């Protein structure tokens, strides 16, 4: 991979692949994925290779193959494959000679290009320029363009291209065969319906073939096959001539907000979709691309972060994170969540985890709170599933699913995972049953959103109800210990998934306690100040009774305390008694999960080893509860035992290292966090990019080095630039105000500049804390750090 391809105004905007390697197709397919939050298009190449994964996902279109598997985002029909034949032989970079090769994703424009000069084994030399984008303007639209130039001789070129619904999700077919049509000998249409959720997909495509600007004569051969409709166009190219193929496609589904209503008619949907294609394709590839680029310009205007670093890569990494955060997020529809792999791969089946609330949401909350609100509304949308899950597990309130899909689906975590090397059976996945902390993660995120935005409307409509229901859930989870005279939370998995069935996981207990405490606080608020909300929720949730429970229990919840001898907070009741082994072999490995080559999960359960940040996350989320000494002691204890086998780990550790003033370590952890997808491991992104890790990059910059934190409802900005950085510039939104933050460093002298970008006439002053001191300003603030 090459990240230095961009020059001048494109510097640090270009992700490039400079050589073709058929062993590592997944890396660029995922890293260079295209999308717009409505749809995600994995960047498999036009020509086909063994090992490729072609994915077209439309957010929210979940389907369940059968009763033995969980629902997942189905892989829609492919429109990216083009079989190109030169004098009858299939073009493939696996044979012949590659004279030039460069594939580039332009993060600024969202356009993917490939430049290839290739000599076939028969000696035909050609130049190819492939271009492709998914429109940020028309969410349904996908543009493709191929330029093929005959360099050294006349040749017959044949292009087979269309719509192919023979694809699956790793073998699972989510669609009925459907209807295949060709209109006016050029508009191809495939209509397929998902097998269980009965969502209609309408995929249309149209081609234009030109040689040296002149439209090609001769009708293509039309082929309707099983789940497939394609055209085969034969073209004679003289030496030096250039063939340009433009392929404009679109995708609509009956889950689209505009169609998902009682009067839905497939006939209307397919007509609209075809009409849209017919009118869009008149603009041509270039016209459609320009419309999309305009939307990207608005994005960069709003999100842009500038880093002056000795390493250009840092600037590129934050742009990469922004790019993917945009294309993975269904900002258009509050009924949908973000998948753990975005829309870039089949990994985690399109399901949403706590990754959204703890790793990704802060970016939106601080930068584009309207989208953050939609993502939280998605959780409200699924609250009935959470209530159902609570009831099924013998609890009250809302027990949010560990993995979440469509609103009615409830818990969708698969039950069986990878091989157990000892028994030879698949390992049981317990997260869906006992990884309970996600409910407080959601409560925390909505409170964070509320504090940062001040969005009362959200709280009244959704937020309070969620908070109270989650508090009810936790209250019902508490188990009284007669011996200790306190409430325990038993049999859970904490963030560290290498410890299953533990009691009193510190993170879980603290967050449950926090949730109930906040519910108590807000019970008073609504009762006193929002009688309408109080009345409604009291009827719906039995608020008064719930409150009595909370009050009676909250102070008796066991919160694991630092040990006297070394200030270490036990991760759970038994962690500190487990065996300590030499972890050198497994820490900082190229491949995550390397410990499972030697131990099965049961054995790993009995070793003091953590998959990821667990107790330490408390110091980030509930920062004020712990002293620096406690933080440092626990850091020293847990960091060496943490394998970072989850992509949710390094960014948090980097931020905490900032908090602990170890900037060198913070930067080196940030470097690793920023390379979870971008780094040299060519297989790590095969199943899709790491959505949480990308949110983690943003948090590492803004909350780590930028020092931004919301603490008890107050803004704190405590920037600490690493030695590699001389300047950091980023925007945040605070209570409806857009702030432009600049941190500069000159010979270790750091300065913080804050400019309020929004200008209301009688805007209130903004108060914040910097380096332990409070500041208040109206328009501009400068602080010497």
Q: Could you list the residues that contact its own copies (CB under 8 A)?
A: 22-23, 48-51, 65-66, 68-69, 88-90, 92, 94-95, 165-168, 170-173, 176-177, 179-185, 195, 221-227, 229, 418-419, 421, 424-426, 597
Is 589 flagged in the annotation as binding?
A: no
Phi, psi of 65 (to 5 degrees): -65, -45
Is 612 flagged in the annotation as binding?
A: yes
- Which residue, chain included where needed, has tokens 């086998």? 645
Q: Is residue 9 a contact partner of residue 297, using CB atoms and an 8 Å limit?
A: no
377 is catalytic: no
Phi, psi of 761 (to 5 degrees): -65, -50
Nearer to its own copies, 58 or 188 (CB): 188
Nearer to its own copies, 227 or 324 (CB): 227
Question: Among residues 662, 196, 583, 159, which one has the least CA distance to residue 408?
Answer: 196
Nearer to its own copies, 185 or 302 (CB): 185
Query: Shortest gap between Cβ of 69 and its own copies (angstroms)?
Result: 6
**CA 330/CA 405 separation, integer angstroms:** 13
**CA 436/CA 414 separation, integer angstroms:** 16
Is 409 flagged in the annotation as binding?
A: no
Sheet bearing 34-35, strands edge to edge: 34-35, 39-41, 56-58
**CA 305/CA 319 separation, integer angstroms:** 8
Nearer to its own copies, 49 or 777 (CB): 49
Q: Given the DSSP bridges, would you call strands 187-193 and 34-35 parallel, antiparallel or unpaired?
A: unpaired
Nearer to its own copies, 420 or 729 (CB): 420
DSSP string, 131-182: EEEE-SSSTTEEEEEEEEEE-SS-EEEEEEEEEE----BTTB--B---EEEE
Rg (CA), the chain: 27
Q: Given the DSSP bridges, would you call strands 714-717 and 766-770 parallel, antiparallel or unpaired?
A: parallel
Q: Is residue 689 a contact partner of residue 30, using CB atoms and an 8 Å limit?
A: yes
Tokens of 342: 């975005």
Query: CA 557, 461, 443 angle in degrees (round to 5)?
Result: 25
Query: Shortest gap between Cβ of 646 and its own copies (angstroms)?
Result: 19
Nearer to its own copies, 593 or 736 (CB): 593
Residue from 72, 497, 639, 733 carrying the catalytic annotation:
497
What is the Cα 216 distance to its own chain's centre? 42
Query: Shortest gap between Cβ of 557 and its own copies (angstroms)?
Result: 39
Query: Shortest gap between Cβ of 210 and its own copies (angstroms)?
Result: 23
Phi, psi of 619 (to 5 degrees): -70, -20
Q: Is residue 375 a contact partner of residue 739, using CB atoms and an 8 Å limit?
A: no
**CA 646/CA 653 separation, integer angstroms:** 12
Nearer to its own copies, 339 or 494 (CB): 339
Q: Is the dihedral of CA 22, 27, 29, 31 positive or negative?
A: negative
Query: Shortest gap between Cβ of 223 and its own copies (angstroms)?
Result: 6
Query: Shortest gap between Cβ of 288 and its own copies (angstroms)?
Result: 25
Nearer to its own copies, 21 or 290 (CB): 21
Please list the residues that pair with 753 across neighbouring strands.
Answer: 742, 782
List helix spans (H) across 478-600.
Answer: 506-529, 531-541, 543-553
Query: Shortest gap between Cβ of 181 and its own copies (angstroms)?
Result: 6
Query: Shortest gap between Cβ of 87 and its own copies (angstroms)?
Result: 11
CB under 8 Å to 287, separation ≥6 — which residues?
none
Is 544 flagged in the annotation as binding?
A: no
Q: Given the DSSP bridges, would you call strands 187-193 and 179-183 parallel, antiparallel or unpaired?
A: antiparallel
**CA 462/CA 592 separation, integer angstroms:** 38
Q: Given the DSSP bridges, would you call strands 200-211 and 242-253 parallel, antiparallel or unpaired?
A: antiparallel
Nearer to its own copies, 92 or 726 (CB): 92
Query: Shortest gap between Cβ of 599 and its own copies (angstroms)?
Result: 14
Q: Is residue 741 a contact partner of residue 729, using CB atoms and an 8 Å limit?
A: yes
Question: Which residue positions form the known binding site?
Answer: 354-355, 611-612
Give catalytic residues, as residue numbers: 497
Question: Which residue positions form the known binding site for substrate?
Answer: 354-355, 611-612
């Amino acid at each position: 991979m090459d990240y230095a391809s961009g020059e001048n105004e494109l510097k640090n905007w270009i992700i490039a692949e400079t050589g073709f390697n058929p062993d590592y197709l997944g890396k660029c397919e995922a890293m260079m994925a295209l999308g717009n939050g409505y749809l995600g298009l994995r960047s498999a190449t036009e020509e086909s290779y063994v090992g490729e994964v072609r994915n077209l996902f439309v957010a929210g279109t979940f389907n369940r193959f059968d009763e033995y598997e969980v629902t997942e985002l189905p892989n829609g029909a492919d429109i990216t494959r083009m079989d190109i034949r030169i004098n009858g032989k299939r073009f493939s970079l696996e044979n012949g000679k590659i004279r030039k090769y460069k594939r580039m994703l332009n993060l600024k424009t969202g356009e993917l290009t490939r430049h290839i000069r290739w000599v076939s084994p028969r000696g035909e030399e050609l130049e190819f320029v492939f271009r492709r984008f998914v429109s940020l303007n028309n969410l349904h639209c996908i543009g493709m363009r191929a330029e093929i130039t005959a360099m050294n001789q006349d040749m017959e070129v044949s292009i087979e291209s269309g719509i192919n619904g023979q694809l699956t999700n790793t073998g699972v077919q989510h669609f009925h065969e459907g209807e295949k049509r060709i209109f006016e000998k050029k508009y191809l249409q495939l209509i397929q319906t998902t097998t269980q959720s009965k969502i209609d997909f309408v995929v249309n495509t149209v081609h234009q073939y030109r040689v040296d600007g002149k439209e090609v004569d001769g009708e293509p051969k039309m082929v309707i096959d099983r789940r497939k409709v394609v055209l085969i166009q034969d073209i004679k190219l003289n030496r030096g001539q250039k063939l340009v193929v433009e392929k404009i496609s679109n995708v609509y589904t009956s889950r689209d907000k505009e169609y998902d209503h009682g009067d839905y008619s497939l006939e209307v949907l397919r007509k609209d979709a075809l009409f849209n294609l017919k009118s869009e394709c008149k603009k041509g590839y270039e016209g459609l691309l320009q419309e999309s680029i305009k939307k990207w310009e608005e994005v960069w205007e709003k999100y842009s972060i500038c880093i002056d670093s000795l390493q250009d890569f840092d600037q590129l990494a934050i742009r990469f994170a922004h790019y993917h955060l945009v294309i993975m997020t269904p900002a258009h529809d509050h009924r949908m969540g973000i998948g753990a792999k975005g829309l870039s791969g089949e990994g985690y089946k399109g399901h949403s985890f706590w990754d959204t609330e703890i790793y990704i949401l802060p970016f939106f909350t601080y930068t584009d709170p309207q989208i953050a609100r939609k993502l939280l509304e998605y959780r409200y949308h699924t609250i009935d599933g959470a209530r159902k899950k609570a009831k099924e597990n013998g609890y009250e309130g809302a027990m949010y699913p560990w993995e979440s899909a469509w609103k009615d689906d409830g818990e969708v975590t698969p039950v069986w995972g990878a091989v157990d090397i000892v028994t030879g059976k698949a390992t049981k996945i317990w997260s869906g049953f006992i990884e309970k902390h996600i409910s407080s993660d959601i409560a925390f995120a909505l409170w964070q959103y509320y504090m940062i935005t001040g969005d009362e409307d959200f709280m009244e409509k959704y937020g309070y109800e969620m908070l109270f229901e989650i508090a009810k859930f936790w209250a019902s989870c508490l188990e009284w210990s007669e011996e200790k005279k306190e409430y325990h939370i038993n049999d859970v998995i904490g963030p560290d998934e290498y410890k299953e069935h533990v009691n009193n996981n510190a993170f879980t207990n603290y967050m449950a306690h926090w949730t109930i405490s906040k519910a108590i606080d807000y019970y008073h608020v609504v009762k006193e100040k929002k009688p309408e909300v109080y009345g409604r929720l009291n009827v719906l949730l039995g608020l008064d009774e719930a409150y009595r429970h909370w009050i009676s229990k909250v102070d008796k919840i066991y919160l694991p305390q630092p040990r006297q001898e070394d200030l270490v907070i036990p991760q759970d009741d038994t962690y500190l008694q487990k065996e300590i082994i030499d972890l050198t072999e497994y820490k900082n490995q190229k491949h995550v999960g390397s410990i499972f080559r030697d131990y099965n999960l049961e054995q790993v359960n009995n070793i003091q080893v953590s998959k990821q940040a667990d107790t330490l996350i408390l110091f980030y989320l509930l920062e004020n509860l712990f002293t620096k000494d406690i933080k440092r002691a626990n850091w020293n204890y847990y960091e060496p035992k943490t394998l970072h086998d989850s992509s949710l780990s390094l960014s948090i550790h980097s931020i905490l290292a900032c908090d602990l003033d170890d900037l060198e370590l913070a930067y080196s952890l940030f470097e690793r966090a920023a390379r979870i997808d971008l780094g040299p491991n060519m297989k790590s992104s095969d199943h899709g990019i790491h959505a949480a890790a990308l949110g983690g990059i943003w948090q590492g910059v803004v909350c780590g080095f930028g020092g931004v934190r919301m603490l008890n409802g107050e803004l704190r900005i405590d920037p600490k630039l690493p030695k590699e950085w001389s300047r950091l510039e980023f925007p945040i939104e605070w209570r409806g105000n857009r702030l432009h933050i600049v941190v500069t460093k000159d010979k270790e002298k750091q300065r913080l500049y804050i400019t309020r970008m929004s200008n209301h006439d009688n805007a209130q002053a903004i108060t914040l804390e910097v380096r332990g001191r409070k500041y208040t300003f109206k328009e501009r603030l400068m602080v010497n750090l």
